[in-house]
Structure 1
């Protein structure tokens, strides 16, 4: 029904009456949503979210503020909302942060903007340090100089600034550079389904770097699932809020202890540096879900999907949860570009155009196998999507670009923590692996390897030959671990001629004996025939005196949890060093399995 001009005037007058009633009677309340640390789950503070009169059209803040703007009452409404939030917050006696949303339009009237401070905090002896003004640019800021004049007065009084929606393009970045906020909020649209969308991860990863370099803290809004929380923790986002953590409440509630425990646990896992490799990382870990269609979908609908979602280069064809084909964008438009192609294919089922033999890979297939299979495709399909299934049903897709990025990341990460000579994990990973194994309930043995008389050999034969021996020993230990089916064991290179192996077994006698036997045979090839026959070399000792040194041998100090437990990796290492000293006294290749007399 069309409303006449007079009718519109009446409605506007009624609306104005409602607005005046709400403002004059201060019919405003606030709900509070908890903001917590994504490092330890502790509560940073609460965001105050205003609400109009219950069970009215103005209960939702959007309707309330639209009404106030239309009636020229936005400044009055802002004051009441903040006043009510502060009164309620202070009455709880919380020594936390209170985040209150501020419309920048309020500050553009400079005189009123400055006076707002006194009006808000008149009752609280101007104790402003707990207040965070959350500024958004929804209304647009055209005069940053004037805006900053007011903001700087708030900052001098102890109030901190948070910028909302930092991911919203140029406007958000412009506000950041002008305000230099203490907190930056990530828009919930960027948080939604972040575990499925690599580009969103990349954006937030960049924001984490910006925040860390500018002394700011990131707050992720709208966290609704455990998967989203996991990714944000792993990316290093500082704080978070959302329904998964806690829904807004009229009371200032703490989060459930389970959430805090989970965040601590997740950070513990995160700090557990893991050296991935392409033989254990699964294709499912880098796959993502995208739009799919059924085989009877017509070309017109597929065309609309490609237009709507410009970022996708292909669409899986799925019937009853089973992938049956794939239509790549460039091939689809190749068909349409043929003579009469548009007329022929737009209203016909996509099954006549789709590739009905796409590459379909199971979720658990390692990346190295996927790469080999994918590279066997012919040139026309080489860069087509790889369809991933789980339990024989459609799961998602992965691209050649995804494969290249992940394998590159794995290699760079492995190199970062690896010994440059052998490529084996270095001290950081070794310590962590030992810490993990001593916490487990499994049987384990930790083997420390040390070459005897290695320094004297280095002095006589040179560092290049010394490096060849270190590489030989690393390969030898790996071969023997494989021989006795300890492939799942761990081998690390401490540095120099020292190695550490961890196996989940107490039965390691044959392993040690085989390593010693093969080492003693192999080491002879690194000496001249004369030195082999003599059985020693002449070299300077630590005091500069020339003396005889026997040919190199190997000492293996073994520590296990058969008769004792260890509280830390350092305690185990200290115990192993005592066993190693006993090994080295013997001057021939040998191994000792603790216990020793303290």
Structure 2
């Protein structure tokens, strides 16, 4: 671009900017800040927008020009005026987050601006949050701190913005002692895939909890990011996934609020997963990628700077077209004339044009099987993960092995070794979560009647087969009757527990009993089936008749009775179970009658 054209553009931009300031042609939009504990709205951040279709629609360009022209205070005054006009009409008992350039705290005219702001604010000053970002160099921290203290004493809260991006340093944090720290969106992006970022945010959570401050995650764009931030203990969040900036003060979408509540209920839970239900995309990580036209020397720079990068996906129009692994790249360079030839040529000459590419939803066991079928030379190459046909990330063979081992160890720790179903700790946790959720639920306790005599006569091996059959049968009936969200656990021995929604309980119990009474006969000899009993010792060593095994189902619901603890529910269930076992045939009792 010629200097003349550049000057013309600058002149035009200045005229547009001058018109914005003179006419105060600035609008405000609001983005809500939600609690990541219960989904409630803490408040709204006011964000300015210049005239649509101009270079100053983007607030960054607007403030950049204002700084160049020495008009920061004038622009800030217009923005605060517009924010007050809109917010005070609608924002009842909600906090208003207003961005303030530190310059305002260092100049007398800036203090006048803030004084005018408070004189126009017709509510408790505790509903104002000044959001400060260290984009202006602060030379006089003493004056800055004293001015800030003045407004804190009036009741206003302080937030530090963009924490973690290099501007908001320790000086600013220690000087301001903010109530809110807004974590920069670069830290939030793909947080669920990056353990290093998670470790950093955990440290901030500990710091904020020990200093009675609160963290706000900015720029949340995906459900996975939201889930991870909730798990890490971040207090509040905002971003396009939660809600886009709007001219109106919009309420929380019910789906978002429900997700936050549900995630908090299961936060810290033991998650008993298996390698068939865990998807490879869940363990993928986003790494730098290159394009086919990238030169060898550029690839070399990437490998030299990133010692942990062992490969680079080659992406064209969001789709993977190749892969270059580090050791193979340097193997080519090490050949005669290799360095001279390939450093100046595009990488598409060296890349593997048919790398292993797997869809995000592929189960871990299937992904492992496919990965291990590769040739020896590509066995440990990156696995490229796609979602909807587009590049999503990569997984290494080490990642696969680690996650598979982790899942198997968890199952060994928390699952019943015979059936593979969740054991006591997970069962208690599931019931506890249902109690807290206040949803309508039913807890079914299954017990095999006359199991011990059968075990004594037919042996432990056949007894184990009966237990495995019962577990599979209950699971099958739950799925057949659309209890897909239901939970089944194995307490131990011949006792099982299911937690389901409280609809169609009669139908479920009857279907399970009908199937069980038919299947159990397959585990007895033809003679014993005809007799309908076996002879075995009772607890006192006396031989007596024991009928063919039956199934007792004691059902507890919260239809008429609310439970506060798992032990309270279990105690009530044991009373119902005694009534069930008094009957010598398969039966169920639902303890949901009003007391």
- The aligned residue for residue 507 of structure 1 is 512
Structure 1 residues 344, 125: closer, same or farther in 2, change over 3 A?
A: closer
CA distance in 2, matches of 1:321, 1:83: 44
Match of 2:257?
Answer: 263
Q: 1:326 and 1:246 mapped to 2: Cα distance?
A: 37
Paired with 2:83 and 2:293, the residues of 1 have a C-alpha distance of 56
The Cα shift of 1:138 comes to 1.3
For residues 125 and 364 of structure 1, the distance between their equivalents in structure 2, rounded to whole angstroms, comes to 53
- The 5 Å alignment of 1:121-136 reads 121-124=118-121, 127-136=124-133
Partner of residue 593 from structure 1, selected from 584, 588, 594: 588
TM-score by length of 2: 0.69
Match of 2:552 in 1: 557
Match of 1:340 in 2: 337
What is the count of residue pairs matched by the alignment? Answer: 545
C-alpha spacing 1:412/1:208, structure 2 compared with 1 (3 Å):
farther
Superposed displacement of residue 123, structure 1: 4.0
Q: Which runs of 5+ in 2 are unaligned?
A: 453-458, 480-486, 501-507, 525-534
**Structure 1 counterpart of 2:183, from 183, 186, 190:** 186
CA shift for structure 1 position 329: 1.8
Identify which of 69, 77, 84 aligns with 2:67. Answer: 69
Change (3 A) 1:73 1:335: same
> TM-score, normalized by length of structure 1?
0.69
Partner of 1:85: 83
Cα displacement (A) at 1:161: 0.7
Which deviates more from structure 2 when the two are superposed, residues 139-148 or residues 486-495? 486-495
Please report how far the alpha carbon of residue 46 of structure 1 lies from its aligned counterpart in structure 2 after TM superposition.
Answer: 2.3
The Cα offsets for residues 351-384 of structure 1, whole Å up to 9 and x where unpaired, read as 6644467545454443245446656878865542
Question: Relative to structure 1, is the Cα distance of residues 82 and 501 closer, same or farther in structure 2, using a 3 angstrom cutoff?
Answer: closer
Displacement of 1:312 after TM fit? 4.2
* 2:471 is the alignment partner of 1:481: yes
Contact 1:44 1:96 in 2 (8 A): yes
Verify the 8 A CA contact 2:28 2:48 in the aligned structure 1: yes
Q: Is residue 20–residue 26 contact of structure 2 (8 Å, CA) maintained in 1?
A: no
1:591 deviates by 4.4
From 136, 141, 165, give the equivalent of 2:138: 141
In the TM superposition, what are the counterparts of 1:22-61 in structure 2 within 5 Å? Answer: 27=24, 29-37=26-34, 38-51=36-49, 60-61=58-59
Task: State the shift of 1:297 in Å.
Answer: 6.8
Distance 1:195 1:583, change over 3 A: closer
Deviation at residue 60 of structure 1 after TM alignment: 4.6
Shift in alpha-carbon separation, 1:285–1:577, aligned structure 2, 3 A? same
Secondary structure at the counterpart of residue 140 of structure 1 = coil
Q: Is the 8 A contact 1:306 1:312 kept in 2?
A: yes
CA distance in 1, matches of 2:347, 2:55: 47
State yes or no: 1:106 paired with 2:104. Answer: yes
Which deviates the most, 573-582 or 339-348? 573-582
Q: Secondary structure at the match of 1:594?
A: strand
> How do residues 343-382 of structure 1 correspond to structure 2 at under 5 angstroms?
343-347=340-344, 350=347, 353-355=350-352, 358-361=355-358, 363-371=360-368, 374=371, 381=378
Question: What is the alpha-carbon distance in structure 1 between the residues aligned to residue 560 and residue 144 of structure 2?
Answer: 58
The answer for unaligned runs of 5 or more in structure 1 is 455-468, 520-531, 539-547
Aligned to 1:253: 249
Instruction: Give me the CA root mean square deviation.
Output: 5.6
Asked if structure 1 preserves the Cα contact closer than 8 Å seen for 2:17 and 2:56, the reply is no
